[in-house]
Amino acid sequence: MGTEFDPAFIQAPEHRPKPTILEAQGIPLIDLSTGPIDDLAKEIGDACRKWGFFQVINHGVSPESRRKIESAAREFFAWPQEEKMRVKRDEVRVLGYYDTEHTKNVRDWKEVFDFVVEDPTIVPASVDADDQRVTTWHNQWPDQNPHVLREACEEYGREVEKLSIKLMELIAISLGLQANRFNDFFKDQTSFIRLNHYPPCPNPHLALGVGRHKDAGALTILAQDDVGGLEVKRKSDGEWIRVKPTPHAFIINVGDIIQVWSNERYESVEHRVMVNSERERFSIPFFLNPAHYTMVKPLEEMTDDQNPPKYKAYNWGKFFTTRKGSNFRKLDVENIQIYHFKVSK
Ligand SMILES: O=C(O)CCC(=O)C(=O)O
Ligand SMILES: [Fe+2]
């Protein structure tokens, strides 16, 4: 990311990290191995309403596959820059390595490697609403020592995907829906996994690893290491609260799509990542996303005369590709957001 501190990383004063860190008391830790299922669903529903975030343990993802992907990620980011640049993303091949992501047009202090769970993944060919053509995204794997990274990523992807479906079933039950209510949306999913590396930062009080944002997809399953840095905006008072790393746990958060599907019974919550000057940090989010042709709108079961739909339908593929194209570089305009589809009162 260069030796000089690029002004592109500097957050506006009101968005800079605070020197005192509030550590989370009360972000629920949920044991997925306990039953009965309705009790578990209730716990998850309460967490979604209150925080939009929770952690899970005994989640069924093997510690071995997590250890493998974490070690492969560490190894990959330690490579010389020119090696990483061989799998660099660009405007056409949008998967792979890059270090230029911007969140709300401020550059993030991180480097990432993105891959899709379904390879290839079908997406719209352009962001133009009238253009019906589709294209495919293919993963880019390094040809140096290819098997280690690729196998670790593919195995982990399969396991986390299973967990994501289990969680969507519990969320469906918690909303009073059939357990399988969401399953069809993910048949041609556009989910992807990101390996994040946050190097030590010389100016941790000016920059962020990821600026404040909400996740655009349905659900996020995050593996964070023991360094810490993820902060969640507490719904009750708007304070930034640090999510304490719990060994082997995953952090789960509701994305914008669940907010829309549930007609705002559950809300997608803002979060961000602080960096520090001493220790590098690694994290691995899995973003569960529906098929590109999904028209995202409040579910009929979630609306009635008292609760009319709060959003107009939008096409997920167009939304997603618009985001993916624009986060890649700095723009002068605001990114696409779900509130653009909000029904006005
Ligand atoms: O690294 C983290 O803890 C979170 C990253 C994140 O929020 C994201 O990539 O959307
Ligand atoms: Fe996020």
For residue 271 and ligand 1, the question of a CB distance below 6 A is answered with yes
35-57 average pLDDT score: 96
Q: Would the pLDDT of 328 be above 70?
A: no
For residue 230 and ligand 1, the question of a CB distance below 6 A is answered with yes
- Ligand 1 centroid–CA 50 distance in Å is 20
CATH number of the domain where residue 135 is located: 2.60.120.330
Averaged confidence pLDDT in the chain: 93
Task: Tell me if 292 is assigned to some domain.
Answer: yes
Query: Please, which contacts does 172-177 make with residues 24 or more away whose CB atoms are closer than 8 Å?
Result: 173/37, 173/38, 173/41, 174/41, 174/42, 174/44, 174/45, 174/48, 175/45, 175/262, 175/265, 175/266, 175/301, 175/302, 176/301, 177/299, 177/301
Q: What is the pLDDT of residue 5?
A: 82
For residue 103 and ligand 1, the question of a CB distance below 6 A is answered with no
> Residue 25 — very low, low, confident or very high, per pLDDT cuts 50/70/90?
confident
Q: Would the pLDDT of 10 be above 80?
A: yes
Q: What is the pLDDT of residue 146?
A: 67
- ipTM rounded to 2 decimals: 0.99
- Ligand 2 centroid–CA 125 distance in Å is 25
Nearest alpha carbon, ligand 1 atom 8: 285
- List helix spans (H) across 117-236: 146-174
Task: Tell me if 177 is assigned to some domain.
Answer: yes
37-55 average pLDDT score: 97
Task: Tell me if 213 is assigned to some domain.
Answer: yes
pTM: 0.96
222 sits in which H/E element: strand 219-224
- Ligand 2 centroid–CA 132 distance in Å is 29
Task: Tell me if 326 is assigned to some domain.
Answer: yes
**Looking at ligand 1, which atom is closest to the CA of residue 251?**
3
Q: What is the pLDDT of residue 344?
A: 83
For residue 290 and ligand 1, the question of a CB distance below 6 A is answered with no
Q: Would the pLDDT of 330 be above 70?
A: no
Whether the Cβ atoms of residue 263 and residue 221 lie closer than 8 Å to each other = no
For residue 45 and ligand 1, the question of a CB distance below 6 A is answered with no
Domain count, the chain: 1
326 sits in which H/E element: helix 316-326
Task: Tell me if 63 is assigned to some domain.
Answer: yes
Q: Mapping DSSP to helix (H, G, I), strand (E, B) and coil, where does residue 48 land?
A: helix
Task: Tell me if 25 is assigned to some domain.
Answer: no
For residue 224 and ligand 1, the question of a CB distance below 6 A is answered with yes
CA distance 279 to 263: 41
Give the Cβ contact number of residue 91 at 10 Å.
8
Pairing of strands 29-31, 53-57: parallel
Task: Tell me if 8 is assigned to some domain.
Answer: no
Distance from chain centroid for Cα 51: 16
- Ligand 2 centroid–CA 26 distance in Å is 20
CA distances from 96 to 17, 90, 140, 196 (A): 29, 9, 6, 12
Q: Look up residue 259 and give its two tokens.
A: 């907010």
Residue-wise pLDDT for 247-289, tens only, equals 999 999 999 999 999 999 999 999 999 999 999 999 999 999 9
- Ligand 2 centroid–CA 272 distance in Å is 7
Sign of CA dihedral 143, 69, 218, 212: negative
Task: Tell me if 64 is assigned to some domain.
Answer: yes
- Ligand 1 centroid–CA 305 distance in Å is 37
Domain residues for the domain of 203 are 30-341
